[in-house]
Amino acid sequence: MKSRVCQALFFFLICVVAFAGCGANQSIDKEKENGNFKIVTSFYPMYVATINITNGIDGVEVKNMTKPQTGCLHDYQLTPADLKTLEKADAFIVNGAGMEAFLDKVVKQQEKLKIIDASKGIDLLKDGTEENPHVWVSITNAIQQVRNIEEQLIADDPKHAAQYKENADAYVTKLESLKREMHTAIDPLPNKNIVTFHEAFPYFAKEFNLNIVAVIEREPGSEPTPKDIEETVDKVKSLNVKALFAEPQYPEGAAQTISKESGAKVYTLDPVVTGDADETAADAYINAMKKNAQVLKEALQ
């Protein structure tokens, strides 16, 4: 009798332990069971493109992993909250091209997670041996990224294929109209030499035939030395550069110093890496680019 009681207690304990082990994943499993296709984006530019492609599709959810004011992800470190967000995702949309330095860690920890590379097939510009990941700042590349996201979402979630394609077509039509509008505004400008704040604008400059003669900060947060500033001032003067372009995401102290020394005026160009994650986000890229065209028109006349 005593032996049977012990056996029963042993069996009960095994069941309790097994149940506790399964409980760690229950919340995630329940979220998977609701049938929704959950998409996580790495940062704001990917979020903006994705909410346009998924607009109005029932059963598809989009969440941005980082805060919408995070900026470029050059040195971003994953947080426990980020990893928890990714555990619940069916697809993770990234810019790629080296922007998300943490991506290898994600792949190792989330082996079944589908990674959607928005920069797939885009020719990358190089600064020395390093590839520049800021591809979305070119409208042509932004269009290609929309198509890449569309194609890979259809492969991963074929149930919503027709809606993804319809939305992507509509957004690409808007981007193509934006591109024509900006060429009309920028192409006739007589001055093409500009100085930018950091390496966010080479693709933009290539698209609109602008000549970046100097970059104030090669890496965000790396303050230029007095020698760097002196060399930039000399370039600005020798090439008769009229405009320095800071970015709204960073302080413009160095740009103001160069402005005082050279006489060139400071303007703001937005690479659209930050913004609001609200009902206005879908138009954030288009609105920012239109404003950039207005700024260039004023600065380079």
Q: Render pLDDT for 59-107 as a digit per residue (tens, 0 to 9).
A: 999 999 999 999 999 889 999 999 999 999 999 999 999 999 999 999 9
| C-alpha to C-alpha distances, 78 to 46, 84, 90, nearest whole angstrom | 17, 10, 18
Query: What pLDDT was estimated at residue 30?
Result: 39
Contact (Cβ atoms closer than 8 angstroms) between residue 223 and residue 251: no
CA distance 258 to 245: 11
- Report phi then psi at 261, rounded to 5: -80, -30
Where are the CATH 3.40.50.1980 domain residues in the chain?
A: 28-182, 187-269
What pLDDT, in 10s, does the model give residues 179-211? 999 999 999 999 999 999 889 999 999 999 999
For the domain covering 187-269, report its CATH number. Answer: 3.40.50.1980
Burial of 143 (0-12, 13-18, 19+ CB in 10 A): buried
Spell out the residues 6+ positions from residue 282 whose beta carbon is closer than 8 angstroms to its own: 48, 51, 52, 55
Report the Cα–Cα distance between both ends of the chain, in Å, rounded.
98
Its pTM stands at: 0.86
Superfamily of domain 28-182: Nitrogenase molybdenum iron protein domain (3.40.50.1980)
What pLDDT, in 10s, does the model give residues 115-127? 999 999 999 999 8
Contact (Cβ atoms closer than 8 angstroms) between residue 196 and residue 217: no
Q: Return the percentage of the chain with pLDDT > 90, whole number.
A: 68
Q: Using the structure block, give the residue that is written with the tokens 């194609």.
A: 151
Query: What pLDDT was estimated at residue 196?
Result: 92
